[in-house]
Amino acid sequence: MEYFDKEYCLEVWGDMACFTRPELKVERVSYDVITPSAARAVFESIFWKDAIRWEVTKIEVLNPIKWTAIRRNEVGAVAGKNIKSIYIEEKRQQKNALLLKDVRYRIYAKLIFIPVRDRKNMKHDPGFDENPGKYNAMFERRAAKGQCFNQPYLGTREFAASFRLIDKNAEDLRPAIDENRDFGIMLYDMDFSDIKNVQPMFYRAKMVQGAIMVPAYNSEEILR
């Protein structure tokens, strides 16, 4: 059971972005717009605790959708138990990438407070010292000051994102692009309910007058 959800709005932007399509394994090709999971990650980079979760509700596209193609060097190996050291010159691979450029979005998400009694692996309630207002205030203070625990990024870590907290009810907000488009099936998020069998979730993304309404996590619109 979840309580006292409050919606916030961030404006995020960057020079380049890559929201990788999972069905394309070799070459990196971005979705046309930011995915809900990437938008959620921006909010989590500013503030996250086990007492809350972020649920993205709407995405507004503020800049026209533009593309660019680049070739990047990647390392074709991962260090682990069987590979203790990697010689970059031997494992270097050149791959093409189709990226977005000059992106700017307004992303909306609810900060949903989860009481201790409803959190996993918690067997008792420590008292009455926790409340949703505390977490709302912590996020608002950090976002207003531009503070973050990790640098937010636009799909991949090399594409850093700038952000600012927005009053969603302000009358002078920059309008979204005047465009309607059906993006088809898009990655929604990952289902971590079974940590040994993490599964992707998808949804049908439709943009109307520059705005994409994102269904709730438990909505029937989510394809699992």
Q: Alpha-carbon distance 88 to 75, whole Å?
A: 7
72 pLDDT exceeds 60? Answer: yes
Convert the pLDDT of each residue in 192-223 to its tens digit. 888 889 899 999 999 999 999 999 988 999 99
Residues composing the chain = 224
Q: Alpha-carbon distance 86 to 77, whole Å?
A: 7
Q: Would 111 be classed as within a structural domain? A: yes
Structure tokens at 93: 């691979």
Q: Which comes out higher in pLDDT, residue 35 or 73?
A: 35
Give residue 81's domain range: 3-213
- Pairing type for strands 162-166 and 199-208 reads unpaired
Q: By the 8 A CB rule, do 168 and 60 touch?
A: no
* Exposure class string for 41-76: b at 16+ Cβ within 10 A, else e: bbbbbbbbeebbbbbbbbbbbbbebeeeeeeeeeee
Give the residue among 12, 18, 6 at the shortest CA–CA distance from 63.
12
Give the residue among 168, 162, 135 at the shortest CA–CA distance from 47.
135
Q: Alpha-carbon distance 49 to 25, whole Å?
A: 33
Give the residue among 214, 4, 221 at the shortest CA–CA distance from 109.
214
What's the pLDDT score for residue 14?
Answer: 98
Reported confidence tier of residue 81, pLDDT bands at 50, 70, 90? low
What's the pLDDT score for residue 1?
Answer: 44
Q: Would 158 be classed as within a structural domain? A: yes
Q: Would 46 be classed as within a structural domain? A: yes
Count of domains in the chain? Answer: 1
Q: Would 178 be classed as within a structural domain? A: yes
Q: pTM value?
A: 0.86
Q: By the 8 A CB rule, do 26 and 184 touch?
A: no
24 burial class (0-12, 13-18, 19+ CB within 10 angstroms)?
Answer: exposed
Q: Alpha-carbon distance 204 to 219, whole Å?
A: 12
User: What is the mean predicted confidence (pLDDT) over 107-132?
Assistant: 68
Convert the pLDDT of each residue in 19-54 to its tens digit. 999 888 778 899 999 999 999 999 999 999 888 899
What's the pLDDT score for residue 132?
Answer: 82
Q: Would 94 be classed as within a structural domain? A: yes
Q: Would 23 be classed as within a structural domain? A: yes
For position 193, which CATH number holds?
A: 3.30.70.2660
Structure tokens at 36: 């809900």
Convert the pLDDT of each residue in 148-157 to its tens digit. 999 999 999 9
13 pLDDT exceeds 80? Answer: yes
129 pLDDT exceeds 60? Answer: no
Convert the pLDDT of each residue in 166-192 to its tens digit. 998 888 899 999 999 999 999 999 988
Q: How many CB atoms lie within 10 A of CB 154?
A: 28
Q: Alpha-carbon distance 161 to 102, whole Å?
A: 11
Q: Would 223 be classed as within a structural domain? A: no
Structure tokens at 28: 């990196």
Structure tokens at 107: 């992303």
Q: Would 42 be classed as within a structural domain? A: yes
